[in-house]
Structure 1
Amino acid sequence: MTTIGVIAQKHHKSVIELRRYLHRFPELSNQEFNTQKHIMQELTAIGLACHSIAKTGVIAELEGGKPGKTIAIRADMDALEIVDECGKSYQSQNHGVCHACGHDGHVAMLIGVAKILVEIKEEIAGKIRFLFQPSEEHFPGGAKFMIEEGALDGVDAIIGAHLWEPMKVGTIGITFDRLMASPDEFTIKIKGRGGHGSMPQQTVDALLVGAQLTVALQTIVSRNVDPLEQAVVSLGYFRAGETFNIIPDTAVIKGTVRSFEPSIRSLIFERIEQITKGICEANNASYEFEKVLGFPALINHPEYSKVIGEAGVTVLGKENVLTINPVMGGEDFSYYLEKVPGAFFFVGVGNVEKGIIYPQHHPKYDIDEDALCYGMEIMATAALALAHK
């Protein structure tokens, strides 16, 4: 075991305790005041000066014993508006708020990384900047505000990680290009003319128009997007009418678009509006269309993914460092990678034997806490290598 590994093991228990505390007291986006306070207490206790940033975020920096680069490591802090059903002693005490995406573990891991690197700071060439970011779950995301307030000033590279249930504990997932898609939203409001269900000839049936549109929108990816390109159009909301015998005058459809290429993103939204316009005109209905462009796609820089992969091999062995396919979820870490080079990776937390089987954003989501030690050891190892690079 490496020196970093020994130190990581020493701090593993305290990192677990911190993660469980944060899980018990989760906070929603831009409301992470207690989380912020707790992070600052942890950093101060190990001798790191820190200050608030982006309202509820925290930034701290460790200066090494030798000159070198400045490497940033980021963890997000916010929880989700979900009722926690994990059934553990650390189940959320803030009803309706839950760390169902692992951000409690991200914070705890980064505190663990800070503890490791403080102990070997004389070996570090350059500086390590610790970024605790609020509001990843709530668009437009906290990364933009962190950057605007100087989080990346003087930074040469950045790394980050996400605890990932689909991968088993003891593995990590990396890519050398695309990792996560742009998560966009759209809303279509169809305006018809309502009336009694017995006299449909007097109406413009917004529900029927919406039903046609729901089917037609599913042809965009299959018929307009190159089959070798990655894209998703999914509808998650369709509402029309209040009772069984009244034809509704309005219908509302909401959905998401996921893509990697800006040209594909533009094509999909163009086709959504073309299809909506055509179907509405054919049925004598009108419509309102609104789109919200989310985070950019998260594209890793290959040379930095390689460093993370090498750190993973050191910690877990070559067979447990997996080159994975991109996923269509979104992450505002992409904003950092538009400004400075770096990479983002997944740390496996799934464990069937322990019942850790529920995906991100599920009320019963939980993690195998062994992953916290692996994650902080890999991040510390990679940051040290990048600072010397």
Structure 2
Amino acid sequence: MKNKLIEMLAERKDEMIEIRRYLHEHPELSFKEEKTAQYIADFYQGKDVEMERNVGNGYGIIVTINGGKSGKKIGLRADFDALPITEETDVAFKSKNDGVMHACGHDAHTAYLLILADCLIQLKDEIPGTIKIIHQHAEEVPPGGAKSIAESGRLDDVDNIFGIHVLPLGEAGVVGYHSGYSFNGRTYFKLKIQGVGGHGSSPHLANDSIVAGAHFVTAVQTIVSRRLNPFDAGVVTVGSFDGKGTFNVIKDSVELEGDIRYADEKIQKVIADEFQRIVKGVEEEFGVKCELTYTADYPPLYNDPKVTEMVAQSLQSIDDKDITEVKEFPKMAPSDDFAYYLEKIPGCYFYIGCTPKGVENPYFNHHPKFDIDEDAILVAAKSVGQVVCSYFGLDQN
């Protein structure tokens, strides 16, 4: 079956690219992907599958492919939301929705999985088990779509789950994997510091919230440099400091927002405890009142070692002109809500190189000029198809 599947995918490469370009032209933001979800649902109309729509807290879709024999059940996931970014690429299929762009590659994820799913549907009588195709909404905006889908009960019978992400860390043809903790967890924070406003000439009659906020910015950076083990990974970023006022007026209050990343739950606890301590210290030292919102968004992403080993061995055994290199990637700082699936289901999230041809310093995901080598879409389809065949023992002679 594997040879049939790989051949079918190769023959439909142009169709994958066509789907990707259509989705790229018509991006929709997280939790607003109504037309994208309809496009996906229309693709499966008339096919011999079970389809559930509006799964989870948005437009999630689960398509179930029942094989010709009973056996294990696996899940394959692709996300389909876009980002609030104004596109700056020069492609002919540039976004038609102002201020919205597929700047993370979710258009490519959806394109490969639609065609892979269709090929698997045609070959389903040879599959000794069940495949659940998960088209997931809202990966980019917490609480995300994965958590609600994982909690919906629709995947409680799934034995293992797989997903991929296109990354410009290698050219098309390079496939990467990492065992264990692979992506960081993420926490959002917002801090309002309430002081006492006043005249710039009389600071003794006021209580300057900007000074307190500036101290906070400096202090929280010491969490990583002085409270974490040097071998532990953590990042504290203050991304917004809203203190704009008038040059001769002491600001009454300021708001800060930021982003915290951590490699595992132990590190998360250290950062959270120190964060709270520093906020209380700012209140005490400067006589201000602090209102803190501290929300853990996505957990660290943990790839099951046994499942990841299976994925690596499967991909390394493939003899295909489009998959040129399979290698271990390092642990990475970004976050992904695929981690919620992996908390409940052993699985593997691996990576597809997509650096555009001839580009030495590609723009990374979430950049307004982010683009991919579209050959990576077929690589994604073949790689996941290979893993599916290995999982069900369909790559044997």
Q: Same fold (TM over 0.5)?
A: yes
**Closer, same or farther: CA 119–36 of 1 in aligned 2, 3 Å:** same
Taking only aligned residues, the RMSD between alpha carbons, in angstroms, comes to: 2.0
Mapping 1:1-389, distance limit 5 Å:
2-44=3-45, 46-52=47-53, 53-54=55-56, 55-313=58-316, 314=318, 315=320, 320-351=325-356, 353=358, 357-388=362-393
Secondary structure (helix, strand or coil) at the match of 1:114 reads helix
SS at match of 2:298: coil
Distance 1:83 1:225, change over 3 A: same
Partners of 1:223 and 1:178 in 2: how far apart? 23
Q: AA paired with 1:341?
A: P
Which moves more between the two structures, 59-68 or 298-307?
59-68
1:356/1:260 CA distance change after superposition, 3 Å: closer
Q: Is the 8 A contact 2:9 2:381 kept in 1?
A: yes
Cα separation, partners in 2 of 1:15 and 1:356, compared to 1, 3 Å:
farther
Q: CA deviation at 1:161?
A: 0.6
Q: After superposition, what is the alpha-carbon deviation per residue over 1:338-362, rounded to whole angstroms, capped at 9, x for unaligned?
A: 1111110111111251588211111
CA 231–110 in structure 1, closer or farther in 2 if over 3 Å, else same: same
1:75 touches 1:106 (CA, 8 Å); kept in 2? yes
CA distance in 1, matches of 2:24, 2:118: 20
Q: Which amino acid aligns with 2:185?
A: S
* 1:256-307 Cα shifts (integer Å, max 9, x gaps): 1111322221221111121222233222222111101111111000121122
Select between 79-88 and 317-326 the one with higher mean Cα deviation.
317-326
Matched residues, number: 389
1:87 to partner: Cα distance: 2.1
Aligned partners of 1:72, 1:343: CA distance in 2, in Å? 11
Code of the aligned partner of 1:118: I
d(CA) in 1 for partners of 2:321, 2:77 = 22
TM-fit CA distance, 1:320: 1.6
Q: Aligned to 1:162, what secondary structure does the other structure show?
A: strand
Judged with a 3 Å threshold, the aligned counterparts in structure 2 of structure 1 residues 130 and 290 are, in CA distance, closer, same or farther, namely: same
Identity %: 35
Q: What's the offset of the Cα at 1:83? A: 1.3
Contact 1:356 1:368 (8 Å CA) reproduced: no
Q: Which runs of 5+ in 2 are unaligned?
A: none
- Checking the alignment, whether the CA contact within 8 Å between 2:23 and 2:107 is kept in structure 1 is yes
Q: Tell me, in whole angstroms, the C-alpha distance in 2 between the residues paired with 1:188 and 1:149.
A: 33
- Partner amino acid, structure 1, of 2:163: G
Secondary structure at the residue paired with 1:244?
Answer: coil
Which sections of structure 1, spanning at least 5 residues, go unmatched?
none
Contact 1:127 1:387 in 2 (8 A): no
Q: Secondary structure in 2 aligned to 1:362?
A: coil
Q: What amino acid does structure 1 have at the position aligned with 2:9?
A: A
Structure 1, 61-70 or 18-27: larger mean CA deviation: 61-70
Kept in 2: contact 1:175–1:323 (CA 8 A): yes
Write the deviation string for residues 14-51 of structure 1: whole angstroms up to 9, x where unpaired: 01100111111111112212111111222235543423
Cα distance change of structure 1 residues 75 and 368 upon mapping to structure 2, 3 Å threshold:
same
CA distance in 2, matches of 1:162, 1:291: 28
CA distance in 2, matches of 1:288, 1:244: 25
Q: Secondary structure at the match of 1:357?
A: coil
